[in-house]
Amino acid sequence: MIGKYLRKKKKGIVSEVEKAIRHHFRNKDLLLQALTHSSFAYESQARIRDNELMEFLGDSVVGLIAADFFYGSYPDVTEGDLSKLKSSASSTIALAEFARQIMLDKFVRLGRGEEKSGGRKKDSILAGTFEAILGAMYLDTGFEAARNFYLQLLRGSFKKIKDEKQLDINNYKSALQEFLQKEDLPAPHYKMLKTSGPDHKKEFIIEVFVNKTSLATASGPSRKAAELKAAEQALKSFFGKKIKSLTQETFIFKK
């Protein structure tokens, strides 16, 4: 009886998500895995695969689609400005908002502990789930299906950008790289120092370097978040109060 109930519940979730994202999956298991946070898999008595590998794949799918979209939409801007647009579209904040638009905050499968701590509202979880959905689409139907789905969201969010003045806002990693390039310095590289905590609640510690010179060290709930924080700390060591923080992933230089 319990097994039958759980199968029916899974089928209902898959059906609702397909309606929300307007995409029919050939392999329903891929969609279910994309919705499964590591905390849910960790607490489950059955052996369940979480969405971390799909998130890894989806990150690349998202990046390629965004790069292609902005390359075609803004043919006259510089490579640096295209990088800013791509970074903005693929930031944790942007992807979390896209996830909310398609109601992934309602459907993501979380463990009891993560549920109690407000996991459905966390940008990092929602962004990761969104990337996993794109990865699942790519595996299930191919690149074009993922591309068409993501482009609908991109066009709705970025159609108001009309001039380069609006490209001053960017994420910290791109900002740091752009600053170093202007100073004729090598691009920064990020080194994982260590991870700690259980699989469903890891903390990543990252150090950012230029050549062999350490610029900053920071931690975060994901490698991407830790790298952004390290880049932020590096920028603030250079500019101090000249950088005004807008969100955890954006910056603006004061004019």
Q: Report the pLDDT value the prediction gives residue 164, as an integer from 0 to 100.
A: 46
| More confident of the two residues 1 and 45 | 45
Q: What percent of the chain has pLDDT over 90?
A: 53
| More confident of the two residues 199 and 107 | 107
Q: Report the pLDDT value the prediction gives residue 170, as an integer from 0 to 100.
A: 56
Architecture of domain 169-253: 2-Layer Sandwich (3.30)
Q: Report the pLDDT value the prediction gives residue 138, as an integer from 0 to 100.
A: 97
Residue 88: band (very low, low, confident or very high) from pLDDT cuts 50, 70, 90: confident
The one-letter amino acid code at 51 reads N
CA–CA separation, 17 and 31 (whole Å): 9
Q: What percent of the chain has pLDDT over 70?
A: 85
Backbone dihedral angles phi then psi of residue 219, each to the nearest 5 degrees: -125, 160
Q: Which tokens in the block code for residue 208?
A: 């950012």
- Is 131 a catalytic site residue? yes
The one-letter amino acid code at 31 reads L
Q: Which tokens in the block code for residue 255?
A: 């004019």
Q: Report the pLDDT value the prediction gives residue 161, as an integer from 0 to 100.
A: 45
- Is 76 a catalytic site residue? no
Number of residues that make up the chain: 255
Among residues 50, 123, 131, 227, the one annotated as catalytic is: 131
CA–CA separation, 43 and 146 (whole Å): 30
What average pLDDT does the segment 220-249 reach? 80
Q: Report the pLDDT value the prediction gives residue 217, as an integer from 0 to 100.
A: 96
Would you kindly state where each structural domain of the chain is located, as residue ranges?
2-161, 169-253
The predicted model scores a pTM of 0.69
What's the topology of domain 2-161? Answer: Ribonuclease iii, N-terminal Endonuclease Domain; Chain A (1.10.1520)
Among residues 50, 55, 59, 232, the one annotated as catalytic is: 59
pLDDT at 64 over 70: yes
pLDDT at 2 over 50: no
Among 20-29, 113-122, 160-169, the minimum mean pLDDT is found in 160-169
Q: Report the pLDDT value the prediction gives residue 41, as an integer from 0 to 100.
A: 93
> DSSP for the chain?
-HHHHHHHHHHHHHHHHHHHHT---SSHHHHHHHTB-HHHHHH-SS----SHHHHHHHHHHHHHHHHHHHHHH-TTS-HHHHHHHHHHHTSHHHHHHHHHHTTHHHH-B--HHHHHTTGGG-HHHHHHHHHHHHHHHHHHH-HHHHHHHHHHHHHHHHTT--SGGGGG-B-HHHHHHHHHHHTT-PPPEEEEEEEES-GGG-EEEEEEEETTEEEEEEEESSHHHHHHHHHHHHHHHHHGGGEEEEETTEEEE--
Among 22-31, 59-68, 236-245, the minimum mean pLDDT is found in 236-245
HSE-CB for 60 with a 13 A CA cutoff: 9
> Which contacts of 14-20 are long-range, i.e. CB under 8 A and separated by 24 or more positions?
16/107, 17/103, 17/104, 17/107, 20/102, 20/103, 20/107
